[in-house]
Amino acid sequence: MTSADLKPLVEARPHPTAASASREASSKQRSSQQTWRYAVAGLSASLVGLGLARFSYTPLIPALIAANWFSASDVVYLGAANLAGYLAGALTARRAASRIGAVRALRAMMLLATLSFFASSSPVSFTWFFAWRFLSGLTGGIIMVLAASVILPHTSAARRGIVGGVIFAGVGLGVAASGTLVPLLLQQGLQQSWYGLGVLSALLTLASWWNWPAEANSDTAPSQTKHQTSPIARALMIQYGLNAVALVPHMVFIVDFVARGLGQGIAAGSRYWVLYGLGAIVGPLVTGHLGDRAGFGPALRAAFLIEAAAVLLPTVSTAPLSLIVSSIVIGGFTPGIVPLVLGRIHELVPHSAEQQRATWSHATTSFALFQAAAAYGFSWIYAQTGGDYQVLFALGGGAVVLALAVDLAMALARRKA
């Protein structure tokens, strides 16, 4: 065979570099598809355990009272049971992950949240209902700690913010559902509403079941090494807790502020809650993208500044435009602050998935403690001031200004060191 005969065969053989590039592109595509599958599983978990299990209860309160299931004072304690359960979940999440694995724990919590909806469909007793509201809060706390910490180690650093945003958009979808889906379900009846939420939760649990990433043994086995938390990480936990305080005035009082404080009625107040929910859907996607582009430290600083202005806005103006802007922005930051804090933790603790999970668990606990204290404290202040909502917005704004001050102080200390 002559060299002329060999030439076509040589030319037909794929170039090694081209073949390698093709394999790399195919690998990247598969990795990208897996990442979004994981993100959708995380979104489903946050929607079930955080969005539906917590926020769907708010529009059900008037129906629970009207149907004589519980008194007005009882429903307040039932709401508090969910907050207490959330705190317990944040405290026990890592232990649950080390016992049965993080993915198994997430699946179990989604099943438990689903069961809680069906169990709440009948007023067996106050104790029964209290226990299930506590367990629904427990599922939210465990999901909040574990969902992102399972997924983000499988995500490239360049996409960490937007993937975290997708995961916690489930919280926003739950807020939006509380203002739209739940009222529609209530037209069918109170018991049917609980059934409807249970069916939706079951479908989301099923959809996410096989889409979680596989766990390495090191992801679930507790390390014998004790990690020291850096001063910057401890400061971040305090900032995250102060941010929780800033969210409470809108989260708890905005509907009542518009309905009774401004005398515009419950329908107007509910419209602002829907706007709050719309902001909560978009918020984590925007903040996550911002964190990817600008870095999570600067993005978090900007978020505190914008949030402070939005919380304080009702103290300056109660015009419809001001309240619309304030509701949408604070709604956006309710879940939107989460991917920023998570991304910042990954920046501060770059090489240890276990330490990242531990730091995030402590931050979530801080958030839950500050939020519960603010919810009860602001309710007491509201009663003591004769229903002065402006004081609550001012205190919320002051809390996030303090969070920004802590961040700036730590940045200044690092420069001097």
Distance (Å, whole) CA 86 – CA 369: 10
pLDDT tens profile 394-414: 999 999 999 999 999 988 887
Tell me the mean pLDDT in the region 341-350. Answer: 88
pLDDT tens profile 221-250: 455 455 567 888 899 999 999 999 999 999
| pLDDT at position 351 over 50 | yes
3-class DSSP state of 74: helix
pLDDT tens profile 257-309: 888 888 888 778 878 888 998 998 899 889 988 988 989 899 999 999 999 99
Task: Please give the residue that has the higher pLDDT: either 212 or 215.
Answer: 212
C-alpha closest to that of 321 among 263, 287, 272? 272
Distance (Å, whole) CA 41 – CA 14: 39
pLDDT tens profile 66-115: 888 888 778 778 877 888 899 899 899 989 988 999 999 999 999 999 99
Taken in order 306, 146, 36, 276, the sign of the CA dihedral is negative
Give Dmax (Cα) for the chain: 101
Tokens linked to 177: 């559902």
**What pTM was estimated for this model as a whole?**
0.80
Which stretch of 29-43, 177-191, 326-340 has the lowest confidence by average pLDDT? 29-43
C-alpha closest to that of 337 among 246, 410, 255, 401? 246
Tokens linked to 32: 């990208």
Distance (Å, whole) CA 305 – CA 240: 14
- Domains of the chain in start order, with CATH, are 36-210 (1.20.1250.20), 227-417 (1.20.1250.20)
- The overall average pLDDT reported for the chain is 85
| pLDDT at position 388 over 80 | yes
Distance (Å, whole) CA 381 – CA 376: 9
Q: Supply the pLDDT for residue 25.
A: 52
> Cβ distance 92 to 144 under 8 Å?
no
Q: Whose structure tokens read 């649990």?
A: 205
Confidence class of residue 218 from pLDDT cuts 50, 70 and 90?
A: very low
Tell me the mean pLDDT in the region 132-149. Answer: 92
Distance (Å, whole) CA 321 – CA 314: 10
Q: Quick one: DSSP state of residue 385?
A: T
Q: Which residues contact 366 (CB under 8 A, 6 or more apart)?
A: 237, 238, 240, 241, 244
Task: Please give the residue that has the higher pLDDT: either 324 or 156.
Answer: 324
Tell me the mean pLDDT in the region 52-79. Answer: 82
Q: Whose structure tokens read 């102060």?
A: 242
Buried b (16+ CB within 10 A) or exposed e, 179-204: bebbbebbeeebeebbbbbbebbbeb
Percent share of the chain, pLDDT over 70:
89
Percent share of the chain, pLDDT over 90:
39
Helix (H) or strand (E) holding 70: none
Tokens linked to 270: 């509910």
| pLDDT at position 16 over 70 | no
Q: Supply the pLDDT for residue 10.
A: 47
Of the CA atoms within 13 Å of residue 387, those in its CB half-sphere come to: 8
Confidence class of residue 176 from pLDDT cuts 50, 70 and 90?
A: confident
Q: Quick one: DSSP state of residue 50?
A: I
> Cβ distance 266 to 255 under 8 Å?
yes
